[in-house]
Structure 1
Amino acid sequence: MTSALRFVKLFSRDETFFDHFRQLAVHIGQAAALLRTLFENPANSAQLTPQIKKVETDGDAIVQLINQRIDTSFVTPLDREDIHLLSKRLDNVIDLINGTSRRVAMFRIVAPRDGGVQMADVLVRASKEILAAVGDVTKRQRMMEHGKIIKQLEEEGDVLYAQAVGALFERDEPAIEVLKWKEIFDSLEEAIDECEDVSNVLESIALKNS
Protein backbone atom coordinates (compact mmCIF):
# COMPACT_ATOMS: atom_id res chain seq x y z
CA MET A 1 0.00 0.00 0.00
CA THR A 2 1.40 3.37 -0.98
CA SER A 3 1.75 6.18 1.55
CA ALA A 4 -1.01 8.10 -0.25
CA LEU A 5 -3.45 5.17 0.07
CA ARG A 6 -2.54 4.78 3.73
CA PHE A 7 -3.31 8.46 4.26
CA VAL A 8 -6.70 8.13 2.58
CA LYS A 9 -7.53 5.01 4.62
CA LEU A 10 -6.47 6.70 7.85
CA PHE A 11 -8.65 9.75 7.28
CA SER A 12 -11.65 7.94 5.75
CA ARG A 13 -14.87 8.22 7.71
CA ASP A 14 -15.85 5.05 9.56
CA GLU A 15 -19.31 4.37 8.11
CA THR A 16 -19.83 1.14 10.06
CA PHE A 17 -21.59 3.14 12.77
CA PHE A 18 -24.67 3.34 10.54
CA ASP A 19 -24.69 -0.45 10.22
CA HIS A 20 -24.57 -0.75 14.00
CA PHE A 21 -27.43 1.72 14.41
CA ARG A 22 -29.52 -0.31 11.97
CA GLN A 23 -28.68 -3.50 13.84
CA LEU A 24 -29.85 -1.94 17.11
CA ALA A 25 -33.06 -0.77 15.44
CA VAL A 26 -33.67 -4.29 14.13
CA HIS A 27 -33.16 -5.61 17.65
CA ILE A 28 -35.75 -3.14 18.96
CA GLY A 29 -38.22 -4.51 16.42
CA GLN A 30 -37.46 -8.11 17.39
CA ALA A 31 -37.85 -7.38 21.11
CA ALA A 32 -41.08 -5.43 20.56
CA ALA A 33 -42.60 -8.21 18.46
CA LEU A 34 -41.74 -10.78 21.12
CA LEU A 35 -43.22 -8.52 23.80
CA ARG A 36 -46.48 -8.20 21.89
CA THR A 37 -46.63 -12.00 21.63
CA LEU A 38 -45.95 -12.20 25.37
CA PHE A 39 -48.88 -9.91 26.18
CA GLU A 40 -51.10 -11.94 23.87
CA ASN A 41 -50.26 -15.05 25.85
CA PRO A 42 -48.41 -14.22 29.09
CA ALA A 43 -48.61 -17.84 30.19
CA ASN A 44 -45.73 -18.43 27.74
CA SER A 45 -43.40 -16.11 29.63
CA ALA A 46 -41.02 -18.96 30.44
CA GLN A 47 -40.28 -19.31 26.72
CA LEU A 48 -40.58 -15.70 25.58
CA THR A 49 -38.80 -13.81 28.36
CA PRO A 50 -35.44 -15.56 27.73
CA GLN A 51 -35.77 -14.77 24.02
CA ILE A 52 -36.23 -11.09 24.78
CA LYS A 53 -33.29 -11.23 27.18
CA LYS A 54 -31.16 -12.71 24.37
CA VAL A 55 -32.08 -9.78 22.11
CA GLU A 56 -31.16 -7.38 24.93
CA THR A 57 -27.80 -9.08 25.47
CA ASP A 58 -27.03 -8.97 21.74
CA GLY A 59 -27.91 -5.28 21.75
CA ASP A 60 -25.48 -4.63 24.58
CA ALA A 61 -22.74 -6.28 22.52
CA ILE A 62 -23.47 -3.93 19.60
CA VAL A 63 -23.27 -0.90 21.91
CA GLN A 64 -19.88 -2.13 23.13
CA LEU A 65 -18.68 -2.34 19.53
CA ILE A 66 -19.89 1.19 18.90
CA ASN A 67 -18.05 2.51 21.96
CA GLN A 68 -14.88 0.73 20.87
CA ARG A 69 -15.10 2.22 17.39
CA ILE A 70 -15.65 5.69 18.84
CA ASP A 71 -12.32 5.31 20.62
CA THR A 72 -10.42 3.86 17.65
CA SER A 73 -11.89 5.69 14.63
CA PHE A 74 -9.88 8.69 13.54
CA VAL A 75 -12.79 10.26 11.63
CA THR A 76 -16.42 9.54 12.49
CA PRO A 77 -19.42 10.27 10.22
CA LEU A 78 -21.23 12.06 13.07
CA ASP A 79 -20.14 13.85 16.22
CA ARG A 80 -18.82 11.31 18.72
CA GLU A 81 -21.21 12.63 21.35
CA ASP A 82 -24.15 12.08 19.00
CA ILE A 83 -23.02 8.55 18.17
CA HIS A 84 -22.76 7.71 21.84
CA LEU A 85 -26.12 9.29 22.72
CA LEU A 86 -27.98 7.62 19.84
CA SER A 87 -26.60 4.18 20.64
CA LYS A 88 -27.51 4.68 24.30
CA ARG A 89 -31.07 5.72 23.47
CA LEU A 90 -31.57 2.80 21.08
CA ASP A 91 -30.22 0.39 23.69
CA ASN A 92 -32.47 1.93 26.35
CA VAL A 93 -35.57 0.95 24.36
CA ILE A 94 -34.42 -2.68 24.28
CA ASP A 95 -33.56 -2.57 27.99
CA LEU A 96 -37.01 -1.24 28.86
CA ILE A 97 -38.73 -3.89 26.74
CA ASN A 98 -36.67 -6.52 28.51
CA GLY A 99 -37.57 -5.01 31.87
CA THR A 100 -41.27 -5.15 30.99
CA SER A 101 -41.06 -8.80 30.01
CA ARG A 102 -39.24 -9.61 33.25
CA ARG A 103 -42.07 -8.05 35.23
CA VAL A 104 -44.62 -10.21 33.43
CA ALA A 105 -42.59 -13.27 34.42
CA MET A 106 -41.81 -12.15 38.00
CA PHE A 107 -45.41 -11.21 38.73
CA ARG A 108 -46.61 -14.59 37.45
CA ILE A 109 -49.02 -13.02 34.96
CA VAL A 110 -50.92 -15.76 33.15
CA ALA A 111 -53.86 -14.00 31.46
CA PRO A 112 -53.94 -11.10 28.98
CA ARG A 113 -55.39 -7.76 29.99
CA ASP A 114 -56.80 -4.87 27.96
CA GLY A 115 -54.09 -2.35 27.26
CA GLY A 116 -51.09 -4.66 27.32
CA VAL A 117 -51.30 -5.96 23.76
CA GLN A 118 -52.34 -2.56 22.42
CA MET A 119 -49.41 -0.74 24.04
CA ALA A 120 -46.99 -3.42 22.90
CA ASP A 121 -48.36 -3.00 19.39
CA VAL A 122 -47.55 0.73 19.59
CA LEU A 123 -43.97 -0.30 20.38
CA VAL A 124 -43.90 -2.58 17.34
CA ARG A 125 -45.06 0.24 15.07
CA ALA A 126 -42.65 2.71 16.65
CA SER A 127 -39.78 0.28 16.14
CA LYS A 128 -40.54 0.17 12.41
CA GLU A 129 -40.37 3.96 12.23
CA ILE A 130 -37.10 3.97 14.19
CA LEU A 131 -35.58 1.50 11.74
CA ALA A 132 -36.65 3.65 8.80
CA ALA A 133 -35.47 6.81 10.56
CA VAL A 134 -32.02 5.41 11.26
CA GLY A 135 -31.65 4.77 7.54
CA ASP A 136 -32.64 8.38 6.81
CA VAL A 137 -30.66 9.99 9.63
CA THR A 138 -28.80 12.38 7.33
CA LYS A 139 -31.90 13.22 5.28
CA ARG A 140 -33.60 15.97 7.23
CA GLN A 141 -37.02 16.04 5.59
CA ARG A 142 -37.55 12.28 5.68
CA MET A 143 -36.23 12.10 9.23
CA MET A 144 -38.71 14.75 10.35
CA GLU A 145 -41.55 12.74 8.78
CA HIS A 146 -40.53 9.66 10.77
CA GLY A 147 -40.28 11.80 13.89
CA LYS A 148 -43.81 13.11 13.40
CA ILE A 149 -45.19 9.56 13.21
CA ILE A 150 -43.25 8.47 16.29
CA LYS A 151 -44.64 11.46 18.19
CA GLN A 152 -48.17 10.44 17.17
CA LEU A 153 -47.48 6.91 18.38
CA GLU A 154 -46.20 8.25 21.70
CA GLU A 155 -49.44 10.20 22.10
CA GLU A 156 -51.43 7.07 21.24
CA GLY A 157 -49.46 5.22 23.90
CA ASP A 158 -50.33 7.91 26.46
CA VAL A 159 -54.05 7.48 25.72
CA LEU A 160 -53.83 3.69 25.98
CA TYR A 161 -51.87 4.00 29.23
CA ALA A 162 -54.49 6.28 30.80
CA GLN A 163 -57.27 3.94 29.73
CA ALA A 164 -55.49 0.82 30.97
CA VAL A 165 -54.58 2.28 34.36
CA GLY A 166 -58.03 3.81 34.77
CA ALA A 167 -59.60 0.41 34.14
CA LEU A 168 -57.61 -1.04 37.04
CA PHE A 169 -59.71 1.04 39.43
CA GLU A 170 -63.10 0.54 37.80
CA ARG A 171 -63.70 -2.80 39.47
CA ASP A 172 -63.11 -4.12 42.94
CA GLU A 173 -59.95 -6.06 42.22
CA PRO A 174 -57.33 -7.43 44.61
CA ALA A 175 -54.81 -4.71 45.43
CA ILE A 176 -51.92 -6.97 44.45
CA GLU A 177 -53.28 -7.31 40.90
CA VAL A 178 -53.68 -3.56 40.63
CA LEU A 179 -50.09 -3.05 41.79
CA LYS A 180 -48.72 -5.66 39.37
CA TRP A 181 -50.44 -4.28 36.31
CA LYS A 182 -49.83 -0.65 37.23
CA GLU A 183 -46.09 -1.34 37.28
CA ILE A 184 -46.29 -3.26 34.00
CA PHE A 185 -48.20 -0.44 32.30
CA ASP A 186 -45.71 2.08 33.70
CA SER A 187 -42.87 0.09 32.16
CA LEU A 188 -44.64 -0.13 28.81
CA GLU A 189 -45.26 3.61 28.76
CA GLU A 190 -41.62 4.30 29.60
CA ALA A 191 -40.50 2.14 26.66
CA ILE A 192 -42.81 4.02 24.30
CA ASP A 193 -41.57 7.36 25.66
CA GLU A 194 -38.00 6.25 25.04
CA CYS A 195 -38.86 5.69 21.38
CA GLU A 196 -39.70 9.39 21.18
CA ASP A 197 -36.37 10.18 22.87
CA VAL A 198 -34.65 8.19 20.11
CA SER A 199 -36.57 10.22 17.55
CA ASN A 200 -35.52 13.49 19.19
CA VAL A 201 -31.85 12.50 19.00
CA LEU A 202 -32.24 11.47 15.36
CA GLU A 203 -33.91 14.79 14.52
CA SER A 204 -31.09 16.68 16.21
CA ILE A 205 -28.50 14.71 14.22
CA ALA A 206 -30.41 15.30 11.00
CA LEU A 207 -30.50 19.04 11.61
CA LYS A 208 -26.76 19.13 12.28
CA ASN A 209 -25.88 17.11 9.19
CA SER A 210 -28.41 18.34 6.62
Structure 2
Amino acid sequence: MRIWDIILPEDKFFLETFREISGKIVLASTQLNELTSFLDKPKGLICQKIHKLEHESDELVRKIFARLEVSLITPLELDEINRLAKSLDDVMDIIDWVAHQICNYQLTGTYPHLNTFAELISISVTEIQEGVGLLGSWEEADEIKKSCKNINHVYNRSRDLLSSAVTELFSMQDPILLIKLKDIYENLEEVLQECNDVGHVLNEIVIRHT
Protein backbone atom coordinates (compact mmCIF):
# COMPACT_ATOMS: atom_id res chain seq x y z
CA MET A 1 0.00 0.00 0.00
CA ARG A 2 1.23 3.47 -0.89
CA ILE A 3 1.88 5.94 1.94
CA TRP A 4 -0.47 8.37 0.17
CA ASP A 5 -3.30 5.84 0.48
CA ILE A 6 -2.73 5.69 4.24
CA ILE A 7 -2.73 9.45 4.68
CA LEU A 8 -5.68 10.10 2.34
CA PRO A 9 -7.43 6.78 1.67
CA GLU A 10 -9.44 6.57 -1.53
CA ASP A 11 -13.17 6.97 -1.00
CA LYS A 12 -14.67 3.57 -1.88
CA PHE A 13 -18.24 4.88 -1.51
CA PHE A 14 -18.55 5.71 -5.19
CA LEU A 15 -17.68 2.31 -6.62
CA GLU A 16 -19.81 0.55 -4.01
CA THR A 17 -22.76 2.81 -4.76
CA PHE A 18 -22.39 2.38 -8.52
CA ARG A 19 -22.52 -1.37 -7.96
CA GLU A 20 -25.66 -0.96 -5.87
CA ILE A 21 -27.34 1.14 -8.56
CA SER A 22 -26.44 -1.33 -11.31
CA GLY A 23 -27.88 -4.11 -9.15
CA LYS A 24 -31.17 -2.24 -8.85
CA ILE A 25 -31.23 -1.76 -12.62
CA VAL A 26 -30.87 -5.52 -13.07
CA LEU A 27 -33.77 -6.09 -10.64
CA ALA A 28 -35.91 -3.56 -12.54
CA SER A 29 -35.06 -5.34 -15.79
CA THR A 30 -36.15 -8.66 -14.29
CA GLN A 31 -39.48 -7.12 -13.33
CA LEU A 32 -39.86 -5.63 -16.82
CA ASN A 33 -39.25 -9.08 -18.31
CA GLU A 34 -42.01 -10.50 -16.14
CA LEU A 35 -44.33 -7.64 -17.09
CA THR A 36 -43.91 -8.21 -20.83
CA SER A 37 -44.18 -11.99 -20.50
CA PHE A 38 -47.52 -12.05 -18.65
CA LEU A 39 -49.55 -9.15 -20.02
CA ASP A 40 -52.85 -10.80 -19.12
CA LYS A 41 -51.96 -10.86 -15.42
CA PRO A 42 -52.42 -7.85 -13.09
CA LYS A 43 -49.66 -5.35 -13.81
CA GLY A 44 -49.96 -2.85 -10.98
CA LEU A 45 -47.73 -4.60 -8.45
CA ILE A 46 -44.88 -5.09 -10.92
CA CYS A 47 -45.01 -1.44 -11.96
CA GLN A 48 -44.95 -0.41 -8.30
CA LYS A 49 -41.86 -2.56 -7.71
CA ILE A 50 -40.06 -0.98 -10.68
CA HIS A 51 -41.04 2.51 -9.56
CA LYS A 52 -39.76 1.77 -6.05
CA LEU A 53 -36.42 0.64 -7.49
CA GLU A 54 -36.28 3.85 -9.52
CA HIS A 55 -36.83 5.94 -6.38
CA GLU A 56 -34.15 3.99 -4.51
CA SER A 57 -31.74 4.48 -7.40
CA ASP A 58 -32.49 8.22 -7.48
CA GLU A 59 -31.61 8.45 -3.81
CA LEU A 60 -28.30 6.68 -4.39
CA VAL A 61 -27.47 9.08 -7.23
CA ARG A 62 -28.29 11.99 -4.95
CA LYS A 63 -25.91 10.59 -2.33
CA ILE A 64 -23.17 10.29 -4.94
CA PHE A 65 -23.41 13.97 -5.83
CA ALA A 66 -23.54 14.96 -2.17
CA ARG A 67 -20.46 12.85 -1.41
CA LEU A 68 -18.54 14.48 -4.25
CA GLU A 69 -18.65 17.76 -2.33
CA VAL A 70 -16.72 16.35 0.63
CA SER A 71 -14.50 13.59 -0.79
CA LEU A 72 -10.79 14.33 -1.10
CA ILE A 73 -9.65 11.23 -3.00
CA THR A 74 -12.00 9.51 -5.42
CA PRO A 75 -11.36 6.30 -7.41
CA LEU A 76 -12.47 8.02 -10.63
CA GLU A 77 -12.19 11.55 -11.96
CA LEU A 78 -15.02 13.90 -10.98
CA ASP A 79 -16.33 14.14 -14.53
CA GLU A 80 -16.29 10.34 -14.82
CA ILE A 81 -18.34 9.97 -11.65
CA ASN A 82 -20.82 12.58 -12.88
CA ARG A 83 -21.19 10.98 -16.30
CA LEU A 84 -21.53 7.44 -15.00
CA ALA A 85 -24.09 8.45 -12.36
CA LYS A 86 -26.17 10.29 -14.95
CA SER A 87 -26.00 7.51 -17.54
CA LEU A 88 -27.02 4.83 -15.03
CA ASP A 89 -29.83 7.07 -13.80
CA ASP A 90 -31.06 7.50 -17.39
CA VAL A 91 -31.28 3.72 -17.84
CA MET A 92 -33.36 3.30 -14.70
CA ASP A 93 -35.61 6.24 -15.58
CA ILE A 94 -36.52 4.92 -19.02
CA ILE A 95 -37.15 1.39 -17.69
CA ASP A 96 -39.54 2.91 -15.15
CA TRP A 97 -41.21 5.00 -17.85
CA VAL A 98 -41.79 2.16 -20.30
CA ALA A 99 -43.17 -0.04 -17.50
CA HIS A 100 -45.50 2.84 -16.63
CA GLN A 101 -46.64 2.98 -20.26
CA ILE A 102 -47.33 -0.76 -20.44
CA CYS A 103 -49.42 -0.54 -17.28
CA ASN A 104 -51.34 2.55 -18.37
CA TYR A 105 -52.07 1.21 -21.84
CA GLN A 106 -53.50 -1.95 -20.28
CA LEU A 107 -52.05 -4.21 -22.96
CA THR A 108 -53.30 -7.77 -23.09
CA GLY A 109 -52.41 -10.65 -25.34
CA THR A 110 -49.04 -11.80 -26.63
CA TYR A 111 -46.49 -9.67 -28.48
CA PRO A 112 -43.23 -11.55 -29.15
CA HIS A 113 -41.30 -8.37 -29.92
CA LEU A 114 -41.98 -7.11 -26.39
CA ASN A 115 -40.43 -10.26 -24.96
CA THR A 116 -37.42 -10.00 -27.25
CA PHE A 117 -36.81 -6.38 -26.27
CA ALA A 118 -37.07 -7.29 -22.58
CA GLU A 119 -34.60 -10.15 -23.05
CA LEU A 120 -32.12 -7.86 -24.79
CA ILE A 121 -32.45 -5.35 -21.97
CA SER A 122 -31.74 -8.10 -19.43
CA ILE A 123 -28.58 -9.06 -21.31
CA SER A 124 -27.44 -5.46 -21.60
CA VAL A 125 -27.98 -4.47 -17.97
CA THR A 126 -26.25 -7.65 -16.81
CA GLU A 127 -23.22 -6.60 -18.85
CA ILE A 128 -23.45 -3.16 -17.25
CA GLN A 129 -23.48 -4.75 -13.80
CA GLU A 130 -20.41 -6.81 -14.65
CA GLY A 131 -18.53 -3.84 -16.09
CA VAL A 132 -19.39 -1.55 -13.20
CA GLY A 133 -18.44 -4.27 -10.74
CA LEU A 134 -14.92 -4.39 -12.16
CA LEU A 135 -14.28 -0.64 -12.02
CA GLY A 136 -11.19 0.09 -9.97
CA SER A 137 -9.72 -3.33 -10.77
CA TRP A 138 -7.78 -2.06 -13.75
CA GLU A 139 -6.07 -5.41 -14.29
CA GLU A 140 -9.55 -6.50 -15.44
CA ALA A 141 -9.68 -3.74 -18.06
CA ASP A 142 -10.10 -6.21 -20.92
CA GLU A 143 -13.14 -7.73 -19.25
CA ILE A 144 -14.74 -4.30 -18.83
CA LYS A 145 -14.07 -3.55 -22.49
CA LYS A 146 -15.61 -6.89 -23.40
CA SER A 147 -18.78 -5.97 -21.52
CA CYS A 148 -18.86 -2.64 -23.37
CA LYS A 149 -18.59 -4.41 -26.73
CA ASN A 150 -21.38 -6.79 -25.74
CA ILE A 151 -23.61 -3.87 -24.77
CA ASN A 152 -22.99 -2.25 -28.14
CA HIS A 153 -23.71 -5.52 -29.95
CA VAL A 154 -27.05 -5.82 -28.15
CA TYR A 155 -27.90 -2.22 -29.00
CA ASN A 156 -27.23 -2.87 -32.68
CA ARG A 157 -29.55 -5.87 -32.52
CA SER A 158 -32.23 -3.71 -30.92
CA ARG A 159 -32.17 -1.24 -33.81
CA ASP A 160 -32.88 -4.05 -36.27
CA LEU A 161 -35.57 -5.39 -33.95
CA LEU A 162 -37.28 -2.00 -33.76
CA SER A 163 -37.31 -1.72 -37.54
CA SER A 164 -38.92 -5.13 -38.03
CA ALA A 165 -41.34 -4.63 -35.13
CA VAL A 166 -42.62 -1.30 -36.42
CA THR A 167 -42.90 -2.64 -39.97
CA GLU A 168 -45.12 -5.48 -38.73
CA LEU A 169 -47.34 -3.05 -36.84
CA PHE A 170 -48.64 -1.48 -40.01
CA SER A 171 -50.42 -4.69 -40.92
CA MET A 172 -52.59 -4.35 -37.79
CA GLN A 173 -56.26 -3.44 -38.06
CA ASP A 174 -56.48 -1.59 -34.74
CA PRO A 175 -54.92 1.90 -35.14
CA ILE A 176 -55.02 2.66 -31.40
CA LEU A 177 -53.18 -0.54 -30.54
CA LEU A 178 -50.69 0.23 -33.32
CA ILE A 179 -49.92 3.63 -31.77
CA LYS A 180 -49.56 2.15 -28.28
CA LEU A 181 -47.21 -0.63 -29.38
CA LYS A 182 -45.11 1.68 -31.55
CA ASP A 183 -44.64 4.03 -28.60
CA ILE A 184 -43.63 1.15 -26.31
CA TYR A 185 -41.28 -0.42 -28.85
CA GLU A 186 -39.50 2.88 -29.39
CA ASN A 187 -39.04 3.38 -25.67
CA LEU A 188 -37.77 -0.16 -25.18
CA GLU A 189 -35.20 0.53 -27.88
CA GLU A 190 -34.34 3.76 -26.03
CA VAL A 191 -33.58 1.70 -22.92
CA LEU A 192 -30.95 -0.13 -24.95
CA GLN A 193 -29.64 3.12 -26.36
CA GLU A 194 -29.17 4.43 -22.81
CA CYS A 195 -27.44 1.16 -21.90
CA ASN A 196 -25.12 1.71 -24.85
CA ASP A 197 -24.33 5.19 -23.51
CA VAL A 198 -23.31 3.58 -20.21
CA GLY A 199 -21.05 1.29 -22.21
CA HIS A 200 -19.39 4.27 -23.86
CA VAL A 201 -18.80 5.91 -20.48
CA LEU A 202 -17.31 2.71 -19.04
CA ASN A 203 -15.05 2.25 -22.06
CA GLU A 204 -13.76 5.82 -21.87
CA ILE A 205 -13.07 5.42 -18.14
CA VAL A 206 -11.07 2.24 -18.76
CA ILE A 207 -9.05 3.88 -21.54
CA ARG A 208 -8.19 6.79 -19.29
CA HIS A 209 -7.08 4.61 -16.38
CA THR A 210 -5.07 1.97 -18.24
Task: Report the TM-score, using the length of structure 1 for normalisation.
Answer: 0.92
Which letter does structure 2 place at the counterpart of 1:131? Q
Partner SS state of residue 155, structure 1: helix
- Quote the residue 2:149 is aligned against: 148
Question: Contact 1:130 / 1:195 at 8 angstroms: preserved in 2?
Answer: yes
1:131 to 117, 129, 140: 129
Q: What is aligned with 1:83?
A: 81
The residue that corresponds to 1:25 in the other structure is: 22
Matched to 1:49, the amino acid is C
How many Å apart are 1:48 and its aligned residue? 0.8
Q: 1:18 to 1:8 in 2, by over 3 A?
A: closer
Match of 1:39 in 2: 36
* Alignment partners' CA distance in 2, 1:16 and 1:47: 32
Q: Unmatched 5+ residue regions in structure 1?
A: none
The root-mean-square deviation of aligned C-alpha atoms, in Å, is: 1.6
Q: Residues 70 and 80 of structure 1 are in contact (CA less than 8 Å); yes or no, is this contact kept in structure 2?
A: yes
Deviations 1:154-204 (A, max 9, x none): 111112211211110123x22111110000001100001111100000001
Q: Secondary structure at the match of 2:69?
A: helix
State yes or no: 1:158 paired with 2:159: yes
The answer as to whether partners of 1:115 and 1:163 remain within 8 angstroms in 2 is no
Give 2:26's aligned amino acid.
G
Unaligned runs of 5+ in 2: none
Report the TM-score when normalising by structure 2. Answer: 0.92
- From 13, 18, 21, the equivalent of 1:16 is 13
**Matching of residues 84-123 of structure 1 within 5 Å:** 84-123=82-121
1:192 and 2:192 aligned: yes
Question: Could you tell me the percent identity over the aligned residues?
Answer: 26
How many residue pairs align between the two structures?
A: 204
**What residue is the counterpart of 1:52 in the other structure?**
50
Deviating runs (4+, > 2 A) in structure 1?
A: 7-11, 136-140
Residue type of the partner of 1:58?
Answer: E
Do 1:114 and 1:164's aligned partners in 2 also have CA atoms closer than 8 Å?
Answer: no
Shift of 1:42: 2.1
3-state SS of paired residue (1:59): helix
Residues of 1 paired with 2:9 and 2:109: CA distance? 54
SS at match of 1:110: coil
Q: Distance in 1 between matches of 2:199 and 2:116?
A: 21
SS in 2 for 1:42: coil
Give how far 1:112 is off: 2.7
- CA distance, structure 2, for counterparts of residue 156 and residue 15 of structure 1: 35
Shift of 1:47: 1.6
SS of 1:145's partner is helix
Q: Which residue identity is paired with 1:159? A: D
CA deviation profile, 1:63-118 (whole Å, cap 9, x unmatched): 01111111110111111111011011111111100000000111121223120011
- Name the amino acid aligned to 1:207: I
Deviations 1:1-48 (A, max 9, x none): xxxx9x976622101111111111111110111001100112321121
Distance in 1 separating the partners of 2:31 and 2:73: 37
